[in-house]
Amino acid sequence: MKLKKAAPESSQEITLLVNSAYRGESSKAGWTTEADLLGGQRSDENSISELIQRKDSVILTHVNEKNEMIACVHLERKNNQTTYLGMLTVKPTLQAKGLGKILLKEAEDYSRNYFKSSKIVMTVIHLRSELIGWYERRGYKKTGETRPFPMNDPKFGLPKTELFFIVLEKIL
């Protein structure tokens, strides 16, 4: 897999990919859908652009042979030891083929090699047991910590039930 750092002009394409994988009918072609838990969008172009331009933050993207973006992941150095990983995304029709595992490994390598991190943390919606299990099989552990979901912020989606995040971490 050949990953590259996203530039601000990639914001629209990343937004379309992320929303297609997590929300709406298109997301149901894959297994990472949150469409039963949340309506609306997963992210917006302004938020993606801000993540790309933020200090110590990067979105890594992968394109196929036709130059179509098919995967991305957001990484942000939180301190000298910790990277936050979020928005791990694979195009829904390409999920369950091993691309996510490769992308996760590349994200871990990037965190270790470029951010010099010794730990990755992430948040996952507590009801996403299949996704939590997927991360646990790759060495991530529940910390016991929870964080609130932005229930009243439509920029993150429109919750259909009460939600919160659990925190997972992996020592690199």
Q: What structural domains and CATH numbers belong to the chain? A: 4-171 (3.40.630.30)
pLDDT in tens, 88-111: 999 999 999 999 999 999 999 999
Is 29's pLDDT higher than 90?
Answer: no
Q: In the chain, what percentage of residues exceed pLDDT 70? A: 99
> Which residues lie across from 86 on neighbouring strands?
74
Is 1's pLDDT higher than 70?
Answer: no
Is 118's pLDDT higher than 90?
Answer: yes
Count CB atoms within 10 A of the CB of residue 49.
20
Is 58's pLDDT higher than 90?
Answer: yes
Give the residue-averaged pLDDT of 11-16: 96
Quote the Cα angle for 85-56-109, to 5°: 50
**Lowest pLDDT segment from 26-40, 44-58, 62-76, 93-107:** 26-40
Closest residue by Cα to residue 95 from 22, 4, 10, 36: 22
Residues 6+ apart with CB under 8 A from 3: 60, 61, 62, 103, 106, 110
Kindly report the average pLDDT of the chain as a whole number: 93
Rounded to whole angstroms, how far apart are CA atoms 42 and 67?
A: 23
